[in-house]
């Protein structure tokens, strides 16, 4: 297939892997990616096995389902059960454990929960069912926030509302760069978040933190090229933002998508599950779209504190790249894809789920 096969070429892949192996940095290197789709590609194509042992690729807080705070899932459950509104969301959200169970459990208890592929499907449901309240539970980073913004700009009817649990990537990376206990030698930036937002926001990183940054697509050659480039940056001590995904990413990003996000949302301090509140890392609806804000519309009272992590769950350490899934005592025992105990075991973008096997 065009624009895919070229990046899965066996000769290119083995050539890159052997080039990386021949390079030698002065110390072992640890690179972090921040995208569930990168972890998926790395697992699916077995890329870790192609790398020399002195390079480790770890997953950061790049799975939107994993970092969605329990309080937002609890809110969705409450809306479904107490207000009898239909919650409409992405399939990956169904099994995520929350304080009193997952959305799947809510559905079993009679709550209306529907899975969609696109936020526009939720808007269509509201148009087609004018006597039913439809509440879209929106999670995801900039890449998902843009389609959600476009759906809101299509002026959904009054029986539509949403929970905005959208997050943006740069503040999370800065948080990790400012922590002493997470030693990272470079970042692999998420290709499609950067397709939307461009990479100008990251241009301070190399100088400010002395770390390399490479933007990667999702085919094996893309990921290996980013790793190769980061190794070169470390060896040359010449840190920069390098765009390895030129067929999709420009410095400015997608103007229409950025404008849609800006018109619909404003930046807010937001909680990341297992990590806590990160300043200026979330997107909430602007004043002119408040009529779609489910929290305001349903005037819910919080009855108890939400619990982000079950006792013994180490997803918070996995999400910041401090430990890897097999180091968690729950991994593969009490926590499995069939019965996830922590959020990272649920989604096909979750680090634990991908380490466990696709």
Min. distance of Cβ 280 from another protein in angstroms? 23
Min. distance of Cβ 148 from another protein in angstroms? 8
Token pair 């609806």 in the structure block, residue: 285
Return the SS3 of 89.
Answer: strand
What are the residues whose beta carbons fall under 8 Å from the beta carbon of 264, sequence distance 6 or more? 148, 149, 152, 153, 285, 286, 289
The residue (of 64 and 325) whose beta carbon lies closer to another protein is 64
Q: What share of the chain is helix, strand, coil (3-state, %, to 5)?
A: 45, 20, 35
The residue (of 196 and 346) whose beta carbon lies closer to another protein is 196
Min. distance of Cβ 206 from another protein in angstroms? 19
The residue (of 102 and 254) whose beta carbon lies closer to another protein is 254
Q: Is the dihedral of CA 317, 323, 326, 328 positive or negative?
A: negative
Token pair 């680090």 in the structure block, residue: 351
Residue 244: enclosing H or E segment and its boundaries? none
Q: Are 68 and 350 in contact (CB under 8 A)?
A: no
**What whole-number distance in Å separates Cα of residue 16 and Cα of residue 343?**
34
Min. distance of Cβ 40 from another protein in angstroms? 8
**What whole-number distance in Å separates Cα of residue 140 and Cα of residue 146?**
10
Residues, the chain:
358
**Of 144, 118, 135, 93, residue with least CA distance to 273:** 93
The residue (of 227 and 330) whose beta carbon lies closer to another protein is 227
Min. distance of Cβ 311 from another protein in angstroms? 30
Residues in touch with another protein (CB under 8 A): 1-4, 6-7, 12, 15-16, 19, 23, 36-37, 41, 64, 90, 92, 117-121, 140, 143-144, 146-148, 150, 153-154, 191-192, 195-196, 217-218, 221, 225, 228-229, 232, 244-248, 254, 256-257, 260, 349
Min. distance of Cβ 342 from another protein in angstroms? 20
Min. distance of Cβ 348 from another protein in angstroms? 10
Residue 215: both structure tokens together: 């933007």
The residue (of 154 and 280) whose beta carbon lies closer to another protein is 154
What values do phi and psi take at 94, rounded to 5? -60, -45
The residue (of 85 and 196) whose beta carbon lies closer to another protein is 196
**What whole-number distance in Å separates Cα of residue 296 and Cα of residue 318?**
34
**What whole-number distance in Å separates Cα of residue 241 and Cα of residue 323?**
26
Min. distance of Cβ 15 from another protein in angstroms? 5
The residue (of 228 and 309) whose beta carbon lies closer to another protein is 228
Instruction: Sheet containing 212-216: give its strands across.
Output: 55-59, 29-33, 186-190, 212-216, 241-243
Token pair 């002119």 in the structure block, residue: 288
The residue (of 78 and 243) whose beta carbon lies closer to another protein is 243
Min. distance of Cβ 238 from another protein in angstroms? 14
The residue (of 153 and 277) whose beta carbon lies closer to another protein is 153
């Amino acid at each position: 297939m065009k624009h895919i096969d070229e990046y899965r070429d066996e000769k290119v892949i083995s050539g890159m892997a052997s080039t990386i192996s021949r390079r030698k940095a002065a110390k072992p290197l640890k690179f972090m990616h921040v995208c569930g789709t990168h972890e998926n590609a790395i697992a699916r194509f077995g890329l870790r096995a192609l790398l020399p042992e002195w390079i480790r690729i770890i997953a950061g807080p790049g799975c939107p389902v994993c970092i969605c705070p329990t309080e937002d899932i609890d809110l969705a459950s409450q809306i479904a059960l107490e207000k009898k509104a239909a919650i409409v969301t992405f399939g990956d959200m169904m099994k995520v454990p929350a304080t009193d169970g997952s959305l799947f459990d809510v559905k079993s208890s009679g709550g209306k929960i529907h899975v969609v592929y696109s936020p526009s499907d939720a808007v269509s449901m509201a148009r087609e069912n004018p006597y039913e309240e439809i509440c879209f539970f929106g999670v995801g980073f900039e890449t998902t926030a843009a389609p959600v913004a476009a759906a809101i700009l299509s002026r959904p009817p009054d029986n539509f509302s949403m929970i905005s649990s959208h997050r943006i990537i740069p503040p999370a990376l800065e948080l990790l760069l400012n922590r002493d206990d997470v030693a990272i030698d470079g970042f692999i930036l998420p290709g499609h978040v950067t397709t939307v937002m461009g990479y100008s926001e990251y241009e301070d990183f190399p100088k400010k933190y002395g770390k390399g940054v490479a933007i990667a697509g999702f085919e094996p050659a893309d990921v290996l090229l980013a790793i190769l480039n980061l190794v070169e940056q470390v060896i040359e001590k010449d840190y920069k933002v390098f765009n390895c995904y030129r067929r999709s990413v420009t410095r400015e990003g997608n103007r229409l998508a950025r404008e849609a996000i800006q018109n619909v949302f404003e930046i807010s301090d937001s909680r990341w599950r297992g990590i806590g509140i990160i300043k200026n890392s979330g997107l909430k609806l602007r004043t002119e779209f408040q009529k779609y804000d489910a929290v305001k519309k349903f005037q819910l009272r919080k009855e108890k504190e939400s619990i982000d992590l079950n006792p013994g769950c180490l997803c918070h350490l996995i999400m910041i790249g401090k430990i890897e899934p097999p180091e968690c005592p729950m991994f593969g025992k009490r926590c499995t894809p069939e019965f996830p105990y922590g959020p990272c075991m649920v989604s096909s973008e979750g680090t634990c789920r991908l380490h466990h096997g696709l």
